[in-house]
Amino acid sequence: MPQTRPAERSELPGIAQRLRRHIVTSTTAAGSGHPSTSLSMVELLTVLYFGGVLRYDPSDPQDPHRDRFILSKGHGAPGLYAVLAEAGYFPTEELSTLRRLGSPLEGHPNMCRLPGVEASTGSLGQGLSIGLGHALAGRLDGSGYRVYVMLGDGESEEGQVWEAFMYAGNHGLDNLTAIIDHNGYQQTDAVDQVQPLEPLTEKLASFGWAARTIDGHSLDEVIEAFEWARTTKGRPQAIVARTTKGKGVSLLESAPGKWHGKPLPPDEEAKALEEIGAAI
Partner 1 sequence: MTLGLTRVDLPKGAATREAFGDALAEAGGADDRIVVVDGDVNNSTYTYKFKDKYPERFFNVGIAESNLIGVAAGLAGAGKIPVASSFSVFLLANAYDQIRMGVAFPNQNVKLVGTHAGISIGEDGPSQMGIEDVSLACSLPGFTVIVPADGPSTAAATAAMLQREGPTFLRCGRPSVPVVYPGAADVHIGKANTLRDGDDVTIIANGIMVAMALDAAEGLAEEGVEARVVDMHTVKPIDQNAIELAARETRGIVVAEEHLAYGGLGSTVAMVVAEHRPTPMAFVNIGDTYATSGTPEELLTKFGLTPDAILDAAKRVLKD
Ligand X SMILES: Cc1ncc(C[n+]2csc(CCOP(=O)(O)OP(=O)(O)O)c2C)c(N)n1
Residue numbers of the site for Mg ion (CB under 5 A)? Answer: 152-154, 183, 185
* Residue 208 within binding range of ligand X, rule CB under 6 A: no
Q: Residue 259 Cβ, how far from partner 1 at the closest point, in Å?
A: 12
When binding is defined by CB under 6 A, the residue of 97, 143, 187, 213 that contacts ligand X is: 187
* Residue 216 within binding range of ligand X, rule CB under 6 A: no
When binding is defined by CB under 6 A, the residue of 75, 212, 242, 247 that contacts ligand X is: 75
What is the footprint of ligand X within residues 225-244 (CB under 6 A)? none
The residue count for binding partner 1 (CB under 8 A) is 32
Give the C-alpha separation, 209 to 173, whole Å. Answer: 9
Site string for partner 1, 185-224 (x = CB under 8 A): -xxxx----xx-----------------------------
3-state DSSP of the chain: CCCECCCCHHHHHHHHHHHHHHHHHHHHHHCCCCHHHHHCCHHHHHHHHHCCCCECCCCCCCCCCCCEEEECCHHHHHHHHHHHHHHCCCCHHHHHHCCCCCCCCCCCCCCCCCCCCCCCCCCCCCHHHHHHHHHHHHHHCCCCCCEEEEEECCHHHCHHHHHHHHHHHHCCCCCEEEEEEECCECCCCEHHHHCCCCCHHHHHHHCCCEEEEEECCCHHHHHHHHHHHHHCCCCCEEEEEECCCCCCCHHHHHCHHHHCCCCCCHHHHHHHHHHHCCCC
* Residue 186 within binding range of ligand X, rule CB under 6 A: yes
Q: Residue 203 Cβ, how far from partner 1 at the closest point, in Å?
A: 15
Q: Residue 184 Cβ, how far from ligand X at the closest point, in Å?
A: 8
* Residue 106 within binding range of ligand X, rule CB under 6 A: no
Stretch binding ligand X (CB under 6 A), from 49-57, 97-105, 146-154, 211-219: 146-154
* Residue 158 within binding range of partner 1, rule CB under 8 A: yes
* Residue 154 within binding range of ligand X, rule CB under 6 A: yes
Which of partner 1, Mg ion, ligand X, none is residue 194 near (CB under 5 to 8 Å by kind)? partner 1
- Which residue's CB is nearer to ligand X, number 90 or number 264? 264
Give the C-alpha separation, 57 to 242, whole Å. Answer: 30
> Which residues lie near partner 1 (CB under 8 A)?
30-33, 74, 99-103, 105-108, 110, 120-125, 154-155, 157-159, 186-189, 194-195
